[in-house]
Structures are given as C-alpha cells and as structure tokens.
Amino acid sequence: MQLPERTHLGATEHAPSDNCPSTGSVHRLRDAWWRLMDMRIGIVPLPVHILLALALIATAVTGKLSAELSPIIALLAICSFTCMEIGQRIPVFRSIGGPVILVTFLPSYLVFTQALPPAVVKPIVEFWKAGNFLYLFIPAIIVGSILSMDRKVLIAGFLRMFVPLAVGSVVAGVVGTAVGTMLGMGVFHTVFFVVLPVMSGGLGEGVIPLTLGYSEVLHHPAGELLAQAMPAVMIGNVTAIVFSGVLNAIGKRYPSLTGNGQLMRSGNDGLPEGAKSSAPMDVTDIAAAGMIAVCLYFVGTLAQNTLGLPGPVVMLVLAVAAKVFFVFSPRLEQGAGVVYKFFATAVTYPLLFAIGVVITPWQKIISSFNVPTVVTIVATVATLMATAFFTARRMKMYPIDAAIVVGTHSGMGGTGDVAILTAANRMRLMPFAQIATRIGGAITITLSLIVLARIV
C-alpha cells in the first residue's frame, strides 16, 4: 500500500512504502502497542491502568485527592479491577466467587489496618454519603434487565419463583434451628438472632427494623439486639456469595441445569421482543432508557415517602407493568438492555469496592466468627438454596438460576444482591433477586414479630 503524497514546509515528498524497512518497524511497533492497549485490567487498558494508578498515587500523596466524580471514578476503577484480576487468578478461590469476595472484603481489611491511607478512604466515604450511588445502580440494573427481558419469561418467572422461595425459607428455618440447637445455642437465640436475621432482607430494610421490633416486644435496647443479630446477616451474605460461585461453576460443567441468567426456558432464547424489530437504535434511545430508570426510581421514592411503601418494590412493580402492557417501544427496550449491560460491566466492581470501604466493618465480621454461629448460618443458607434447586426442577425452572435467586434472600439487601449475582455472573436476575430480598424479607420480619409477640 502506498501512502498518499504529503506537503511539508512547501516541499512535496512521498511517504516511504510499506516495503521500506523503517516503515515496517513502525508498523510492528504500532501493532505491538495496540496489542498492549487491548490487554485490560477489568475494563481498563493496561497502559491506561498503569498511568492512572501512578497519577492517583501522586495525587493522594499530595493530599489533593477529592470526592468529585472524576477522581472517584478513577480511584474506584483502578482499585476494584485490580482486586478483581487478583481474585480471578487464584485457583479454586475464583470458582467460589473469589473476585467478589476479594473486592468487597479486602478493602474492609485494609481500612481496618489503615493500610489504605485516610487520603484515599476519606474521599470515598464522602462520595458515598453525598451521592448514594447505589440508588442509581440498582434502578439501572432492575429497569434495564426487566425491559430487555422476554415478556413471557418475566411473567412466568415472577409467578413461579414464590414457590421455591417459600418452600426453601421454611425448610431452611427448620434445619437452621435444629443445627443451632444441637450446637448448644438454644432454640430462642438460634431462631430469633441467627436464622431469622439471615432471611430478613439485609440491613436497612431487614435486620434493623427486625431488631427495633424485638426491642418493642422484649423491652431491651435496640442497639444491643442489633449487635447480636448483625453478624448473622454478614456471614449469611458471604456464604451465599460462595455458594453462588460454586453453582456458577457447576452450571459451566452441566449446562442443562442453568439458563445463564434466565429462570424459565424461552422460545427465543431470552431475547426481548424488541430484539426482533428492525427499528434502528441510536444513543438517544440509550439515554432515554436511562431517564426511564431514573423516573421510575423517583416514583418509587415518592411512594415510599408518602404512602410508606418500599420504594424499590414500587419501582420493580412499575417496570414489570410497563413491560407487560407494552408501554415502551422496542427501541427503548433495546436501549434499556444497553444501560443494563453498561452498569453490570463497568460499575459493579467499583461499587463493591466502595461498599467494602464504607459499610463493611471488618471488626464485626471477625467478631462474629464462632463455630456454632457459622455452622448454623452455613446450614441455613445451604438448605435454602438446595431446597430451591430441587423445587425449581418440579416447577420447570432452571435449578441453578432459581437457587441463586433464592440465595439472595440471605444477603445484605441491595448490596448483597449485587455481590451474590456478580459472583454467579447473573446480574440479569436482579429483578427476581429484589423480590426475594424485599418481599421475602418483609414477610420474614412480619411473621417473626407476630410469633415473638405471642410467645413472650
């Protein structure tokens, strides 16, 4: 190939041909550089990762690292994707959700030991408290995955998933209580401070209102009761992450057991109806889908503030109704799918790193590790997910995906759902996970307080 003529300082000259040795060397160097650029740490090109890491270190050393959006994006991306890559390269560990565990809990340990300097921790904490970024991530994931989901699968999945959720919760409650009692913790403590907190729906929407209810009934300080119940939620979340990673590995070995993010079989392999449309999609459709997610979040927040209804559940119901009744065009549904994929790919691990820094206290995790409590929690979560696995087969659902969804019932609310589904590489199940977490947790709390009021 001959390069075009070029003019330099008034003189006309010809570029050397590709056959020229110097030009061939330039092309080889260019190709080598491009190959290096295509090597990535997470989603970040390797040279960019190195340069950005050096720039962040220099900024942190000078004390100039701020909580503004751009520096925080850079900081969380570099830290989280580095941890993710390490976790993916540890044999066995990577198959049980290692990347997620490392990204979530290593920063917690580094904060505890002060290995992560205050100049780095402070802007992350300030950003988290000011931006509440989790409530942008979850709407984007929920709305995006629902609108891009097959309509028949969505309806059938929502109707059928309550069976493995209910059966699994009951059986897990019985088994967990039996194990804790045999290990000497007593029936009352096992039920109300280990088993039920595991399935209460997380922290803010789960164990905190649960222990406030306990406080009213038992006339004990809520803080003391919360300290007893919180370890169960944390260990339950870690256990569900590990089991979800194991189920993901099993699904790769036995593909017939999993829909890789689908609960039910679909005639069009789970593609949304809009994917069949020939209507072109452009960037405005993606932006419009993002605004739809924000709009539904605000409506859910309004319902929570005025009617006392759980905001995420309202948002979820509205998104499902919009999908079922053909509210949005195929182009917008495709745009929602892109929004979902972007957040699932680019935002999940940085968000988990921030969660590890801000709201995962290492001291409480370690203090909760005593043998009877850990064994009881592991038995509860294992029974919950195993029961869902076998029940799902009778319901003509994919057993692995159903078990993972029900496993989120033992997580730490929205943050737990993110971690568990990421470990299983099934973020598309987020709508069903929210049902398991929010509605399953609400039912657990309500029944727990009714029973406690009757026996005290």
Give a yes or no: residue 2 inside a domain: no
- Give the pLDDT band (50/70/90) at residue 121: very high
Q: Which residues contact 190 (CB under 8 A, 6 or more apart)?
A: 176, 177, 179, 180, 181, 376
The rounded percent of the chain whose pLDDT value lies above 90 is 34
- 135 exposure class (CB count in 10 Å sphere: 0-12, 13-18, 19+): middle
Between 158 and 300, the higher pLDDT residue:
300
- Residue 278 pLDDT: 52
Give a yes or no: residue 343 inside a domain: yes
3 state DSSP class of 29: helix
Pair 154, 96 in one domain: no
Which tokens belong to 243? 């089991």
Helix axis angle for 311-324 and 134-147, nearest 10°, is 20
Pair 247, 119 in one domain: no
Pair 413, 439 in one domain: yes
Give a yes or no: residue 442 inside a domain: yes
Instruction: Compute the average pLDDT of residues 261-280.
Output: 56
Q: Cα(271)–Cα(251) distance, rounded to whole angstroms?
A: 20
Pair 90, 229 in one domain: no
Q: Cα(312)–Cα(301) distance, rounded to whole angstroms?
A: 8
Give a yes or no: residue 86 inside a domain: yes
Domain boundary residue, one of 128, 152, 177? 128
Structural domains counted in the chain: 2
Q: What is the pTM of this model?
A: 0.73
Angle at 364 between CA 362 and CA 368, to 5 degrees: 120
- 92 sits in the region (left: phi over 0; alpha: psi -120 to 50; else beta) called left
Pair 403, 364 in one domain: yes
What is the DSSP code string of 228-261? HHHHHHHHHHHHHHHHHHHHHHHHHH-GGG--SS
Pair 165, 305 in one domain: yes
Which residue from 150, 147, 154 is spatially nearest to 281, judged by alpha carbons? 147
**Cβ atoms within 10 Å, residue 249:** 15
Are the CB atoms for 210 and 420 separated by under 8 Å?
Answer: no
Give a yes or no: residue 14 inside a domain: no
Pair 339, 376 in one domain: yes
DSSP 65: -
Give a yes or no: residue 12 inside a domain: no
Strand 40-41, strand 6-8: pairing? unpaired
Which one of 180-194, 275-289, 345-359 scores highest in mean pLDDT? 180-194
- Mean pLDDT, the chain, rounded, equals 83
- 245 exposure class (CB count in 10 Å sphere: 0-12, 13-18, 19+): buried
Q: Cα(339)–Cα(286) distance, rounded to whole angstroms?
A: 6
- Count Cα neighbours of 125 within 13 Å in the Cβ-side half-sphere: 14
What range does the domain containing 326 cover? 132-455
Pair 77, 52 in one domain: yes
Pair 113, 212 in one domain: no
Between 17 and 420, the higher pLDDT residue:
420
**Cβ atoms within 10 Å, residue 409:** 34
Domain boundary residue, one of 128, 148, 168? 128
Instruction: Please say if the pLDDT value at position 406 is more than 80.
Output: yes
- Residue 396 pLDDT: 83
- Give the pLDDT band (50/70/90) at residue 355: confident
Give a yes or no: residue 16 inside a domain: no
Pair 161, 40 in one domain: no
- Give the pLDDT band (50/70/90) at residue 446: confident
Domain boundary residue, one of 97, 128, 159? 128
Pair 87, 171 in one domain: no
Pair 419, 271 in one domain: yes
Give a yes or no: residue 13 inside a domain: no
